[in-house]
Amino acid sequence: GAVVSQHPSRVICKSGTSVKIECRSLDFQATTMFWYRQFPKQSLMLMATSNEGSKATYEQGVEKDKFLINHASLTLSTLTVTSAHPEDSSFYICSARNSWDRVNSPLHFGNGTRLTVT
């Protein structure tokens, strides 16, 4: 079945540094990918929609300069948390849908990245 690979699964970084998270669709093309953030025991909050070859669409309240999204190819989107602070510590999940079967394809999720900023 369709697989979305997300890397790394866990990362610890120091305050002020930047962290890049990769999301790859392994056996399908995705013109659109979605980045979610999840706090403990809470739901998934959509941060932004990543669009291949164009700018990402951010949800209200999400800082564009803090969370940089690049979708350079049909199978790869990256989320960079810039100048990370402890309050950015969270679980980040990416998802994608097969662009060639948008109607029938469900949303496939990566395994998530647990970010800890010290």
Partner 1 sequence: AQTVTQSQPEMSVQEAETVTLSCTYDTSENNYYLFWYKQPPSRQMILVIRQEAYKQQNATENRFSVNFQKAAKSFSLKISDSQLGDTAMYFCAFMKLKTSYDKVIFGPGTSLSVIP
CB atoms within 10 A of CB 2: 16
Whole-number minimum distance, CB 2 to partner 1, in Å? 11
Q: How far is the CB of 84 from partner 1 (least distance, A)?
A: 20
Task: Count CA atoms closer than 13 A to 73's CA, side-chain side.
Answer: 8
| Assigned token pair, 113 | 């990245």
CB of residue 82 vs partner 1: minimum separation in angstroms? Answer: 23
What are residue 24's DSSP bridge partners?
5, 76
Which spans of this chain sit near partner 1 (rule: CB under 8 A)? 31-32, 34, 38, 41-44, 46, 49, 51, 57, 91, 93, 95, 97, 99, 102-103, 106-107, 109, 111-112
Return the ∠ at Cα 96 (arms to 95 and 99), rounded to 5°: 170
Q: Select 18 or 73, whichever has its Cβ closest to partner 1.
A: 73
Of residues 82 and 89, the one with the C-beta less far from partner 1: 89
* Residue whose structure tokens are 């979708």: 71
Q: How far is the CB of 7 from partner 1 (least distance, A)?
A: 15
Q: In terms of CB distance, is 17 or 42 closer to partner 1?
A: 42
d(CA 69, CA 66): 10
